[in-house]
Amino acid sequence: MGDNSCNVKLHIAMLPWLAFGHLIPFLELAKLMASKGHKITFISTPKNINHLPKIPQPLTPFITFIKLNLPKLQNLPENAESTRDLPSNKVKYLKIAYDHLKEPVVDILNTLSPNWIIYDFTTYWLGPIAAEYGIKTAYFSVFPALMHGYLGTPETMMHGYDDRDDFLKKPKWVTFESQVKPSGFQLTKATENLSSEVENVSDAYRLGATIQGSDVVIVRSCFGFEPEWLNLQKELYKKPVIPAGLLLAVDNPDGNADWLETKKWLDMHEKGSVVYIAFGTETKPSQYELTQLALGLEMSLLPFYWVLIDQRGSLDEVVELPSGFEERTHGRGLVCRGWAPQFKIVSHDSVGVLLIHSGMSSVVEGFQLGKPLVLLPLSVDQGLIASYLVEKKMAYMVRRDDVDGLFTPESVADSLSLVMVSEEGKMYREKAKEMMCLFGDRKVQDKCLDELLHVLQMSLSCKE
């Protein structure tokens, strides 16, 4: 940091949304800030905090966890504290319960008086309250800038769009060339999930109001990845938009009790020959998607390691693999239905390609380790990220019907073969190695972090 920087140590509270695709990036940012000597108060529910990776010993004096209990709601199962505990149509009740944390969160702010609170898109009510207490606010987007840039100004998010079909073409506020857009079937799926009368506040309103009520916006991104979209965000929001870096993935030193068995299986396969399949903790394929995917893997004849979430909480319907699939692929493929040490597995030389949903954490991890990506996005945000990666020729997407989302086992098998072994797909293998220089560069990450902390410190008028 430069000579004019303020060197005051900050106290930063963090309040992520109750989803591990949000909790983990928030925790990674907390660890980076703590490594610079700043004090972090990390607020979530008991079960979520207990499931987070352990903090490295040198950082434990700087990070304090505060556990808040969710209120009991009629439609929310007693043990449900994150999105992975619920089918997608029940997540709205988790958001309603989350809104009831307003009072205990205000008590924490009143008691601790942090300099800043960094919070998520769901917490749309927090900005004005924090301002009353003289606490600065930052919205941290775990999504890249292209997603929010596509959605427009906070006012547009809050008060609606002219037409649903506006989402299927380039928005008028995007003034540069871009092919980024979701598919029609992803938009239909999102509309269905948001149309419930029970959910008191839509996701679009939450996001717009959160951005509007924040002092600054922090984005999981960097200018080397999406410069036009970051600049567009600044124009749309009329406030500071600061890249936090891509938040490099780190190995969990606790490992996994089954890792040695997994490693033994991976060791048996040739370098670059195994497909790793995972769709994160947020996303579960439908029965149709699961069947087509499984049959495509079988048809590909490639070795595979599949982390499969077949049920999200006790109320969710179980999706099932095709009859006899695991027997027919025995020895060639492994299906893991529990937690898997993803970083360790993807780091292994035998893993040649990742088949993923385009969630940002998986994209970062794959490119950080130089692995080419085959994309099967299932939701709107994943579709936007996937279309950007395809536009930039960074990754290849499984071909699907744009309207109904249908795809064939052949399209899965052909996509994997193309990216992993064919001459035509060599560009994706080379691009993945090239991306290591950006996604795995700690100097880029450190520069983003220093600039972010500088903004947060300078806003306090450098009071020692």
The yes-or-no verdict on residue 329 having pLDDT over 70 is yes
Band (pLDDT 50/70/90 cuts) for residue 312 is confident
Band (pLDDT 50/70/90 cuts) for residue 311 is confident
Q: Are 188 and 212 in contact (CB under 8 A)?
A: no
The yes-or-no verdict on residue 446 having pLDDT over 80 is yes
Q: Which of 197-206, 283-292, 365-374 has the highest mean pLDDT?
A: 365-374
* pLDDT on residue 196: 46
* pLDDT on residue 192: 59
The yes-or-no verdict on residue 162 having pLDDT over 70 is no
Structural element, H or E, at residue 12 = strand 11-15
The yes-or-no verdict on residue 2 having pLDDT over 50 is no
* pLDDT on residue 148: 94
Please state, rounded to an integer, the average pLDDT across all residues of the chain.
Answer: 91
CA–CA distance, 239 with 142 (Å, rounded to integer): 18
Band (pLDDT 50/70/90 cuts) for residue 37 is very high
Q: What is the mean pLDDT of residues 15-31?
A: 97
Note whether 11-248+441-458 and 259-439 share their fold.
Answer: yes
Tell me the CATH number for domain 11-248+441-458: 3.40.50.2000
The angle, 0 to 180 degrees and rounded to 10, between the axes of the packed helices 287-300 and 409-420 is: 50
Residue boundaries of the structural domains of the chain: 11-248+441-458, 259-439
Distance, CA of 313 to chain centre: 20
List of E strands, 220-316: 241-243, 274-278, 304-307
Q: What is the mean pLDDT of residues 14-32?
A: 97
* pLDDT on residue 283: 82
* pLDDT on residue 408: 96
> For 259-439, which CATH class?
alpha beta
* pLDDT on residue 5: 52
Which pair of tokens denotes residue 292? 């087509």
The yes-or-no verdict on residue 1 having pLDDT over 50 is no
Between residues 137 and 7, the one the model is more confident about: 137
Q: Are 408 and 414 in contact (CB under 8 A)?
A: no
Amino acid at 95: K
| Neighbour count for residue 338 (Cβ, 10 Å) | 9
